[in-house]
Amino acid sequence: MSGSILYIHGFNSAPESKKAVQLATVMQRIGLSEQLRVPALHHHPREAMAQLQAAISELDRPLLVGSSLGGYYATYLAEQHGLNALLVNPAVSPHRHFDGYLGTQTNFYSGETWELTHDHVLALAALEVPAPQDPQRYQVWLQTGDETLDYRHAEQYYAACALRIQGGGDHSYQGFAEQLPGLLSFAGIAAPQYQTIDFAAL
């Protein structure tokens, strides 16, 4: 692993999300900001995928860190490129659950409004892959208190992967900062580079 990381945010999220900011803060403190990409993804899956493919080409085999819908994107990309992926409360088959969401959407951070259409759903469906079977390449972090996604869907889909299931929490994944040493290690970053950081204070 190269120590580079591509963070993939979720549905209607942005690089300003708490997890992305915490990760960026740590990478900056250890002098590795240039090895992190946190693109502001377009709402359309085809546009977002083009952004992510470009980011992968800029980095040397990055660890893909995907949250929610970003976990779905990360799974597709990890399978396509043979990359490692760390998924945080990932969405499974999101196209099957978007019927009630069609219509106007608002980004939680930018305030941008856009229309979720059947074309978005079709584009998402095209990214579906068979359940990953490689526990060495995948870590899946789930919290049972996720109010947006039923964690049991991901528990079943990623059953062959390295699962970390915590009781309670929520969809944003409570306590993410304290888990960052595990993420950095999985990315191939040596412990001495970050062992002096107080992760609980992020």
Cα 102 to its chain centre, rounded Å, is: 23
Answer whether 199's CB lies under 8 Å from 185's CB: no
Question: What φ, ψ does residue 3 adopt, rounded to 5°?
Answer: 85, 0
Tell me: pLDDT of 1 over 60.
no
- The span from the CA of 28 to the CA of 133, in Å, is 33
Which tokens belong to 2? 């190269």
Element (DSSP H or E) covering residue 163: strand 162-166
Mean pLDDT for the chain?
A: 95
Instruction: Residue 180: name the closest of 157, 148, 202, 153 by CA.
Output: 202
Condensed to tens digits (0 to 9), the pLDDT of residues 136-151 reads 999 999 999 999 999 9
Domains and their CATH numbers in the chain:
5-201 (3.40.50.1820)
Amino acid at the residue 62: P
Instruction: Tell me the mean pLDDT in the region 125-129.
Output: 97
Exposed/middle/buried for residue 199 (C-beta within 10 Å: 0-12, 13-18, 19+): middle
Distance spanning both ends of the chain, measured CA to CA: 25
**Binning pLDDT at 50, 70 and 90, where does residue 98 land?**
confident
**Binning pLDDT at 50, 70 and 90, where does residue 97 land?**
confident
Element (DSSP H or E) covering residue 162: strand 162-166
> pTM for the whole thing?
0.97
Condensed to tens digits (0 to 9), the pLDDT of residues 170-197 reads 999 999 999 999 999 999 999 999 999 9
Instruction: Residue 68: name the closest of 97, 105, 110 by CA.
Output: 97
Give me the pLDDT at residue 119, please.
Answer: 95
Answer whether 141's CB lies under 8 Å from 89's CB: yes
